[in-house]
Amino acid sequence: MASISSAFSLSLALFLGFSSTVLHLTEAQQLVQGLSWSFYDSSCPRLESIVRKQLQEVFKDDIGQAAGLLRLHFHDCFVQGCDASVLLAGSASGPGEQEAPPNLTLRARAFRIIDDLRRRVHRRCGRVVSCADIAAIAARDAVFLSGGPDYDVPLGRKDGLNFATRNATLANLPSPTSNTSALLTSLAAKNFDPTDIVSLSGGHTIGLSHCTSFTNRLYPTQDPTMGKTFANNLKANCPTANSTNTTVLDIRSPNVFDNRYYVNLMNRQGLFTSDQDLYTDRRTRSIVTSFAINQTLFFEKFAIAMIKMSQLSVLTGRQGEIRANCSVRNSDNLSLSSVVGEEEGSWSAF
């Protein structure tokens, strides 16, 4: 099979637990210098199977974690590049990305899942694989194991030495209240075109939102672009503007990575302004429609946009480091700094 032919073959692959269809976009995609499609082929050949096998176990218990992992990689990449900076705990040098408001709705378990994967990988291969690469592979597997496309991820990222400031975090993550104009402008700065933006927003085909992320569309007045029944159901879900409840992002198929998100938009059932306005705005409307009627097209464009996102401002080669613990930079790890001199190759912080 040369490419994904139908949703059916994908969900079959999902239930049988193997993949028969991988999008090989290696020729279509430009790689930034320092990343490669075969980076760990000799240093850690089992890397991707270790991650996938473990995530299959995690998702068997709680498929919601797939959404948490996908969003974590997005937040990592948009703020200061895909350098695992989002994973760093705040330290003496100040509060990090994690303390900025957008962090507060990242799932706590996603952080633990990434470091658990790192531990398994390092046990097998040594400290040669970065947390940033593990986060990128985990996001891909979250997509695939929820029913979405499988695709190759370029590898070779290093982990950053610093987290971003709270201000940088706020400035780089778009708000759910953004309209399409605002999204097009802020994402153009990261070199994303309208097709990329509509594709990436399709990440909202899985996962949850807290009421406070969208109740501005319900109270005090109802957003006229929101369907009436949909709005009434959301009001029952979130009786006040600051209710602490959550709701699903995709009412049609909340846990399956598919193109129903776009069908929702066509039916005025997008949850955020940033979602619904993609269908209101004439510059993106036809892209929404094309994905709603052709899931294969969405999967292809989504994979392309994800590969692009996964290369934002990456550290490679002698930049950065490979963390021994995803939430702590090595220089803050006293037990590690005494043995650092003995490590070769992967250590490049100085």
Which residues of this protein are in contact with ligand NAG, per CB under 6 A?
Answer: 89-90, 98-99, 103, 106, 108, 111, 119, 167, 179, 181-182, 237, 239-243, 245, 294, 296-297, 300, 324-325, 327-328, 333, 335-336
The helix/strand/coil state of 133 is helix
DSSP state of 163: P
Closer to ligand NAG by Cβ: residue 111 or 262: 111
Cα–Cα distance measured from residue 81 to residue 75, given in angstroms and rounded to the nearest whole number: 9
| Helices and strands, counts by H and E, the chain | 14, 2
DSSP result, 261-314: HHHHHHTT--SSHHHHHHHHSHHHHHHHHHHHH-HHHHHHHHHHHHHHHTTTT-
Which residues sit in the known binding site for substrate? 174
- Cβ 43 to ligand NAG, closest distance in Å? 18
Can you spell out the DSSP letters for 88-129? Answer: PPPBTTB--GGGSGGGGGS-HHHHHHHHHHHHHHHHHH-TTS
**Is 122 a known active-site residue?**
no
Instruction: Give the distance between the most distant pair of CA atoms in the chain.
Output: 65
Q: Which residues contact 10 (CB under 8 A, 6 or more apart)?
A: 4, 21, 147, 148, 149
109 scored as a contact of ligand HEM (CB under 6 A) = no
Nearer to ligand HEM, 248 or 322 (CB): 248
**Region of 83-91, 92-100, 203-211, 332-340 interacting with ligand HEM (CB under 6 A):** 203-211
Nearer to ligand HEM, 40 or 279 (CB): 279
Locate 281 and state its tokens.
């705005």
Which residues participate in the annotated binding site for Ca(2+)? 76, 79, 81, 83, 85, 97, 205, 250, 258
Residue 315: name its binding partner from ligand NAG, ligand HEM, none (Cβ under 5 to 8 Å by kind). Answer: none
Query: 91 or 233: whose CB is closer to ligand HEM?
Result: 233
Binding interface with ligand HEM (CB under 6 A):
67-68, 70-71, 74, 105, 107, 174-176, 178, 183, 200-201, 203-204, 206-210, 213, 249, 272, 274
* Active-site residue set: 75
